[in-house]
Each structure stands twice: as structure tokens, then as C-alpha cells.
Structure 1
Amino acid sequence: MSAHPSPALDAVVVGSGPNGLAAAVTLARAGLRIQVLESQDTIGGGARTLDLGLADGIVHDLCSAVHPLALASPFFEAFDLGARGVDLIAPEASYAQPLDDEPAAIAWHDADRTAEGLGADGPTWRATLGTLARHQDLVAELALGDKRSIPRALLTTPHTLAIAPLFGALVGLQGSPAWDLPLRTERARALLGGVAAHAIGRIPSLGLAATSALLGTIAHGAGWPIPVGGSQSIIDALTADLRAHGGEIVTGHRVRTWRDVPPARAVLLDTTAGAAADILANRLPRSLESALRGFGHGDAAAKVDFVLSGPVPWRDAEVGRAGTQHLGGTRAQMAAAEAEVAAGRLPDHPVTLVSDPSVADPSRRGGELRPLWSYAHVPAGDPSDPTELVTRQIERFAPEFRDVIVSSRGISAADMAHHNPALVGGDITMGGVTMASMIARPTPRWDPYRLGATSWYLCSAATPPGPGVHGMNGWHAARRVLRHEFGLRGTPDLSPGS
């Protein structure tokens, strides 16, 4: 885009979220001169951990807190977070689904233990999710690819002929009106359905069913780990590697148009599709600019951070052993609440996700105090403070919850973008999660990362494989930049010793 004859930088990355940093690290490892521009004063986008001033010594994860994809992502496997001092601890129970009139359903890290607690559905759970979990790497490769190339595992892994159809069948059933099959009990159906709450949208749907099948598989594979010290530890590891390889990060630098970006041979945008269109306004083919602006936002999350004087007093004590709780009741109740959100109405009992990170990481406690992370599904752009709404939903399953609240801070869906511009209207998935949008994301073009015939690329969750702290969007985009802009084929070694 620049006429500069010899730019001082090889590439600029706009945005320091996990995808932006994954792209920057990959490019820096290839020997390129990299600069990352971040509009906020702190680095990390949706994976930051900050002191919100709610209690001395207590820090909170701003967006993501639990990281099912951190140990399953091929990018993070190559980067090797563990060797870089990032301690990811998976609780003994990955997630729990409390119910109103019967004992909670618990997804233990151990698939057999989970199956034993599901009665008549135990054998089916073991045969589906238990089997998929034993081949987690294959499932992750199938799910986290660029949706444009054939995953290598399909050609090289003997188990593919059995695992890929099993995964597809589970998604197909759970995403259709036949979603009551093959599970027969309400507890098992709710347990699997609640995992879809990590995306936001109508259920049943194929997009949310794919989310449920992937995360449900990982729950019994690597588990759903919580980073010791908070999500920022993942960002700090990426940042340290980038700087060790000559990369530079500039904070407080807002990019509104292409003129705000220094001359470089390539630019990667870890932004929404709409922001990319704004930055390159009138410099893209009209059809592409229109398509980027037309890639709609999904429904929203509204967040509440609590400080508690002790653990959440769940009615069913087993619920507190999980790192994540899905609060929505039965699958029918969750479907009704999500339908209300999709219709633009605020449900009385919204689907709500909760996590007490100190269950896995006691260092997050300050004496008797501990943080509690939560968010509720609400209509896009909803301006209301969610604190009371979320408090009531937690009380539904922990009646004495108010007694342990020390302080709280609610952020409406409308205000979520204030601390992360990518969360427009509270859309934490950077675009609706449907099967079509996950493939044609943000457009159905063969290369969804490159912005027309320019040297500008999109590397955010608005591209395949979609949302999640896995770095794969940035990795896919960076490898295209290396090939198209610098003539470099192959993937740089990301291991700590290289």
C-alpha cells in the first residue's frame, strides 16, 4: 500500500491479541523485522489479566480465563508453552452443568469417570466423546485447519477413517432437530449442550454443535486448563519470544486508517472484518470491502467480575470441583434463553459461564479472597449492567451466593469494546458462529486471509478457524505472508531452543 522504496519494517501487525502475536512470532522466527501496534496501553487483547481495583492482590482475566484450546492447538504445541514456563493446570473436572431438580452433571477430566455418572448414557458417552478424546490431536487438526486445505491427518493418520466420521456424526446429530439422539437422559443432554455456550447462538445449530463436539473432546483429552497467574502468562510468553527475535511492540497506537501504519512490505490486521474495511476504505475492490462490512456480528456477552470471600456455595458441592460451570439448566431451557437473545430480548435466565480460577491455581487467592469470572449471553449491544442478572443466575444454583460477594464490576455488552475494540457490541466471537460463517469467514474467497491483491492480510478470529485462544488464525495468515510476500516456504521452527 505504501510507495516507500525500502521500508524499515518487513511487516506490521495491528493488534496484540493471541492471533496477532502468533502471527508476529511466526514472522519474526523467519528473520523478518516486525512491529506490533496495539491501541490499548496493555498487551494481550482478550487474553489480558489486570488488577481492576476490586480488592488488594486480586487480578482478573478481562475476557478469556479458561483455555481448552491452549494444549490442543497445533500452534501452541509447536511453540511449547510449558517449556516457556507457562503452567497450565487442568482441574479434575473440566466443566459442570448444575440442574434445578436433580444432581448436577459433571464432565470429569477422566471420560470413564464421567460416563459412570451418567447412568444409561454412560456407554454412549464413552463410545463417542471418550473415543474422540483418545484421538484429540486428530480432532484438533480437523477442527482448527484453514478450511481451505486438506488436513494432513486425513492423508497420514490411520484412525482418520473412523474418527472423522464419528466427529461429523456427533456434530450432525447435535446440530439438527435430531439432537436428542443418541443421548437419552436429561443430565447427559444438558452436559453436552452446555458446552455449546462457549459460542453464542441458536441451538441446535451446526456451528454450535461443532464447538460442543470439539471442546467436549478436549475436556477428556488435555482437559480445560487454567494458566497459573492468569491468561496474561500466555501473552507474556509470546511477547518474550517476539522481542527475543527482534520484534517491537508499540502500545497506545490506534490505527484508524492505512495512514496510521508505518511503511512495511506486509501488514496483518488482528481486527474485526469491519475494522479492516474501515482501515482500507476505498483501497479494496468494492465487492470485497462490501463483503467485509457485511460479515455480521454475533450476539453478545456481558461480563461480571466478582471478588468473593470464599468458594461459591453451590447447592451441589461437586459443581465446585470443576474449573468451569455452565449455568443454563436443561437443554430446552438453554435453547429458550438463546432464542430470546437471538430475537433481541434479554432473557430472565440467560446462559451464563462461570469460573473460579483458584480451583486450579490457589495463587490467585489473596488470603480468603478470590476472583470469580463470569459472563452472560445477551443481545448485541445491550446497554444494561449485567451484575444483578448474573448474580440471580448463580443464586439459582448457589442460593447463598450473595453472602460471599465482597465486590463486583459489571460490563454491559455495549461497553465491552471499551477495553477491547474487537468486541463490538459484546461480540466475543468476532462474527456469528454458524457452519457457513466458520467456513466462509469472513468471505467465501479461496484465500480468506489476504485482502484482495494487496499486501495486507486479516489474521483475527474473523478468519478460519474462528474464535478461541489457539493462535491458529495468526499462524495460518503468517505462513501465507511468508509465501506470497517474501517467497519463503515452509514453517519456521517455533520451539524454545531455536
Structure 2
Amino acid sequence: MRSSQRAAVIGSGPNGLAAAVTLARAGVPVTVFEAMDTLGGGARTLSHVAPGVVHDVCSAIHPMALATGFFREFELTKRIGFVIPDASFAHPLDGAAGDRAAVAYRDLARTATELGRDGAAYARLYGPILQRLEGTLDLALGGALLRWPRDPLAAIALGARTLEQGSPVWNARFREELAPALVSGVAAHNIGPMPGLAAAGVAFVLGALAHASGWPVPVGGSQAISDALAADLLAHGGKIELGRTVTNLSELADFDVKLFDTSARGLAEIAGDALPAGYRRRLARFRYGNAAAKVDLVLDGPIPWRDARVAEAPTVHLGGSRAEIAAAERDVARGRHAARPYVLLAQPAAFDEGRNPPGVHAVTSYTHVPRGSTVDVTETVLAQIERFAPGARDRITAVRATTAAELGRENLNYVAGDFSAGQVSVRQLLARPVLAREPWKTPADGVYLCSSSTAPGPGVHGLSGWYAARAALAREYGQTAPALGLGH
């Protein structure tokens, strides 16, 4: 049944497309407005480093694509191909660790066996969370946190471990360097001081997925996810307008319902006085975190990792020991550029061989920097790669650096280079962007926020858009969420 109330979605990132698909499936006439000439936001794949070679512009490896509610409902794995390596991520070390790497395999027992003396402690850290993974994901990704957990035992297991790894006693269970470095490498996906509760929570959600469904590589790049969402939207009567920047709510006067896949700041700028003054003040208090700066590479062969097992993982965390990563993150929190920074590197070539020409290895990487930084971090990033892969520089044929300031200009949701669209802290997980049972609904009639600036936060999961669209369907259309699978 088609509705007469039209909806507009501003922004075509994964959350915006998830919202649009949900509305279109319910019979709502929906149009997506995207300021860029390509759709997908942080889930795009472009040739911007060397002719004929494609790189993911932001997200490259997708731990949440197989496990979260929206993509499971959408049956994403039936629409595009994924390669799921046995190794989810790797963390090379040197010095006292003896040039060894820690590797997180989907098999927790194998991971523990290769971690030496700390293997059993690592298994005890993640084991109870894996046993209650559905409850853990519901607690962390189920939308607003202002509710009783559906699985209290999962909440207890996650809470106890988050308190441990987010506090100064985080090393109490470990005796060597491999296991704590492995945990810290995934925790550092959250840009912020370590130890910290938010970082520890990220370590357990993403780490548990590494040992469950794995960290998959989408065949063809992240763009495949966006294209699958867009295809479904168009198939159900939706429209997409590229190169269309919306600067004022008055431009959307023909639409009854508006969903913003923008930062909280972007919503405030576009909606202006249509939002009550009190709500605008609360949005103004919403804090943005520190930033990322990117270095994309083209190589004429694989990275020559000193420990060959690192090549088995699509994601590599560089930065050395737990203490070194914590020191680098402290520098960034204090507004400084770390001399030996944490670097997150994605190397999909060995897992998606048809994406680029034979022999060409496209590598994406980013490091953490103070918000708004204009510093080109190419040399510090290459130094960290070379540290664990001597000779890697000799294989590089092209480089493209993107500063944090440039990242913020390329994608307006990434305020000053903060690709999380808002600092990820305990406070801002509870109030994202405001403290409310339905944080996606604004006080303005028919206006919703559906980006990573709202619950459950950053990541390519589509959940913020899905939850916002479901709230809009209930409030504005009196409908329940539609089925999203291929058979509907």
C-alpha cells in the first residue's frame, strides 16, 4: 500500500540508505538527496589514487555486515559476495615480543594457543561474551540504552570485562605482550584515551565478532554494500538524487517526513529555528572527537610482513605494544601528533583478487590525529609499516594522503575529520545526541536524525537508519517495520 505522505532522506551513507529502504518497503514514497556525485558516504569505493585502481574511501573490512539486525533482515549475504578469512585481524610486534605477531582467528582456541602464556587468559576474557553473543550485540547495538537488557547475563559478562579492560587494572590478567596488544589494537578503533570504558566496549564487540562470524571483505569493495541498498530502494519505488546539497529545511517543503543522515551539527544547521531552542542547545553540547588522517597506497606486490602470518588477515593494527598504543592515543587526546602512531591498515587484495588488476595491491590505512589537523602523516604511517615489514616502501608505486581537515571537507558528517560523527564516550553512548528513549526523533514535526550521531553510534551497520525509519513509520504512518528480505 502506497502512502500519500512523502519522505526525504538527506545523505546516502549506509544509515541513510537503510532508512530509505525501510520506508520504501513500507510503501512510503521516498527520495534520497546526496550532496556528492557518488552514493555511499563512508561505504564507497573509488579510483582516486592511481588510474584503474580502486580503494575504499573509509570503511574497508566489515565486522558488522554479517551480524547486525538490519543486514541480517536485509539478507545482505544473498545480495553480494563476501570473503571471510580464517584470520580476522593481526597485530605485529617487535622488541621483547621477538618480531612475532598476535593473530585473532575466528577459532578462539587457535587464537589462544598461539598467544603463549596468556592464551588461556585471553580465552577466558572473550569466551563468556561469545557464549552470549546475541545478548551482547543486543545490548551494544540494540538502539537506545535506556532499557533493561534482554539478556542480563550477557550484560554482566560484558560490563565486568569492560570495567576491567577500561581501567588501570587492565594488565592484571596478562603476563606477556601479545594478548594485551591484540585487545588494545581492536580497542583503538575507538579514538580516545586508553584504558577507557568506551574503548574497552569496542574491543569486546568487534573482538567477539572476530571470533564468531569473522571480519569479512566485500567482493568488489565497500561500494557493493551501498549499491545493493540502492538497488533495493529503486526496486521499491524510491528515488536518489546525486549532487544535490540541502542547506535549509525549506527546500524540503514538499516532504512530510525528513530523515537526516547528517551529523548532529549538520541537522542543526539545516533545520535551524524549526528545532526548539532547548533542543538546539543540547545538540550544541554534543561533542566531536579527535580525527583520522588517511594514507592510501598502491603496491606492486603484497606487503612483506616480517611475520608471514600477518598477510593472512585483511586488517592489521600497527603500533607495537599495549603501552605504545596507549601512549600514542594519549598524545592525540592532548592535541599532539604521535611520533609512533596507531595505524589501522586494510589489505584486501589477497582476499578479493578480482577487484584490481593482477599484481596490484591497493592498501588503505589511517591513523589518529587531533581534530582538524592539516598535517600530512604519510611519513609516520610508512615508518610504522616499514617497522614491521622491511622493504615495504620499495613496493609502493602511488600514494594519496588525506589530512583530517580534508576528510572533514570531503564528507561533512566527519566534522573536523571525526569519522564517528561524534565522540564515542560512555556519556555520548547514553546520550547520542540527546538522552531519550527514541534519540532519533527530534522535537520538530516529522524530523528525524538517522546518522552515526545517534544510537547505536559509528560503524557500517545501517542500524541508526533502520531504527529511525521504524520510529518514523510508527509515529507518522501508523505502520510497523516491513520485511526486508529478498522474498518480500
User: Which bin holds the TM-score, normalised by the shorter protein?
Assistant: over 0.9
Tell me which of 490, 493, 498 is aligned to 2:483: 493
The alignment status of 1:112 with 2:109, answered yes or no, reads yes
Aligned to 2:56: 61
- Structure 2 CA distance for partners of 1:244 and 1:149, relative to 1, 3 Å: farther
Aligned to 1:23: 19
How far apart are 1:451 and its partner, in Å? 1.4
How far apart are 1:364 and its partner, in Å? 2.4
Q: How does 1:108-257 map to 2 (within 5 A)?
A: 108-148=105-145, 150=147, 154-155=149-150, 160-257=151-248
Tell me, what secondary structure is at the counterpart of 2:439? coil
Q: What's the CA shift string for 1:263-318, capped at 9, x where partnerless? A: 21110000000111111112211121122122111100001110001111111111
Note if contact 2:49-2:297 (Cα within 8 Å) is conserved in structure 1: no
How far apart are 1:454 and its partner, in Å? 2.1
How far apart are 1:458 and its partner, in Å? 0.3
Aligned to 2:319: 328
Aligned to 2:74: 79
Note if contact 1:14-1:36 (Cα within 8 Å) is conserved in structure 2: yes
How far apart are 1:108 and its partner, in Å? 1.2
Tell me, what secondary structure is at the counterpart of 2:429? helix
Q: One-letter code of the match for 1:97?
A: H
Aligned to 1:457: 448
Q: How does 1:308-319 map to 2 (within 5 A)?
A: 308-319=299-310
- Structure 2 CA distance for partners of 1:53 and 1:216, relative to 1, 3 Å: closer
For structure 2, list consecutive stretches of 5 or more residues without a partner in the other structure.
Answer: none
How far apart are 1:394 and its partner, in Å? 0.9
Q: What's the CA shift string for 1:59-87, capped at 9, x where partnerless? A: 11001000011111110000001121x11
Q: One-letter code of the match for 2:465?
A: G
Note if contact 1:9-1:263 (Cα within 8 Å) is conserved in structure 2: no
Q: What's the CA shift string for 1:187-222, capped at 9, x where partnerless? A: 101100110121101111111111011000000000
Tell me, what secondary structure is at the counterpart of 1:51? strand
How far apart are 1:38 and its partner, in Å? 0.2
How far apart are 1:181 and its partner, in Å? 3.1
Aligned to 1:419: 410
Cα distance in 2 between the residues matched to 1:122 and 1:366: 40
Aligned to 2:42: 46
Tell me, what secondary structure is at the counterpart of 1:281? helix
Q: One-letter code of the match for 1:109?
A: R
Cα distance in 1 between the residues matched to 2:49 and 2:65: 28
Tell me, what secondary structure is at the counterpart of 2:193? coil
How far apart are 1:184 and its partner, in Å? 3.0
Aligned to 1:350: 341
Q: How does 1:236-315 map to 2 (within 5 A)?
A: 236-315=227-306
How far apart are 1:149 and its partner, in Å? 5.4
What's the TM-score, normalizing by structure 2?
0.96
Q: What's the CA shift string for 1:355-396, capped at 9, x where partnerless? A: 111132111231211100100111111101222221111111
Q: One-letter code of the match for 1:227?
A: P
Q: One-letter code of the match for 2:445?
A: T
Q: How does 1:398-409 map to 2 (within 5 A)?
A: 398-409=389-400
How far apart are 1:162 and its partner, in Å? 3.6
Q: One-letter code of the match for 1:67?
A: H
Alignment root-mean-square deviation, CA: 1.5
Cα distance in 1 between the residues matched to 2:110 and 2:49: 40
Question: For this pair of structures, how many residues does the alignment match?
Answer: 483
Cα distance in 2 between the residues matched to 1:431 and 1:161: 28
Aligned to 2:85: 91
Runs of 4+ in 1 over 6 A off after TM superposition: none
How far apart are 1:182 and its partner, in Å? 2.7
Q: Using the TM superposition, name which of 442-451 and 58-67 deviates more.
A: 442-451
Q: One-letter code of the match for 2:486?
A: P
How far apart are 1:120 and its partner, in Å? 2.1
Cα distance in 2 between the residues matched to 1:182 and 1:12: 51
Cα distance in 1 between the residues matched to 2:408 and 2:136: 32
How far apart are 1:419 and its partner, in Å? 2.4
Cα distance in 1 between the residues matched to 2:253 and 2:398: 43
How far apart are 1:161 and its partner, in Å? 4.6
How far apart are 1:261 and its partner, in Å? 2.2
Tell me, what secondary structure is at the counterpart of 2:317? strand
- Structure 2 CA distance for partners of 1:38 and 1:292, relative to 1, 3 Å: same
Tell me, what secondary structure is at the counterpart of 1:399? coil
How far apart are 1:168 and its partner, in Å? 1.4
How far apart are 1:53 and its partner, in Å? 4.8
Cα distance in 2 between the residues matched to 1:404 and 1:262: 54
Tell me, what secondary structure is at the counterpart of 2:50? coil
Tell me which of 33, 38, 48 is aligned to 1:37: 33
- Structure 2 CA distance for partners of 1:95 and 1:246, relative to 1, 3 Å: same
Q: One-letter code of the match for 1:13?
A: V
Note if contact 1:130-1:220 (Cα within 8 Å) is conserved in structure 2: no
Aligned to 1:369: 360
Aligned to 1:4: none
How far apart are 1:134 and its partner, in Å? 4.1
How far apart are 1:262 and its partner, in Å? 4.5
Q: One-letter code of the match for 1:77?
A: R
Aligned to 1:388: 379
Note if contact 1:68-1:215 (Cα within 8 Å) is conserved in structure 2: yes
How far apart are 1:51 and its partner, in Å? 1.2
Note if contact 2:144-2:438 (Cα within 8 Å) is conserved in structure 1: no
For structure 1, list consecutive stretches of 5 or more residues without a partner in the other structure.
Answer: 1-6
Cα distance in 2 between the residues matched to 1:443 and 1:125: 36
Q: What's the CA shift string for 1:313-364, capped at 9, x where partnerless? A: 1111111111111111111111111111011111111111001111321112
Aligned to 2:459: 468
Tell me, what secondary structure is at the counterpart of 2:328? helix
Identity across aligned pairs (percent)? Answer: 46
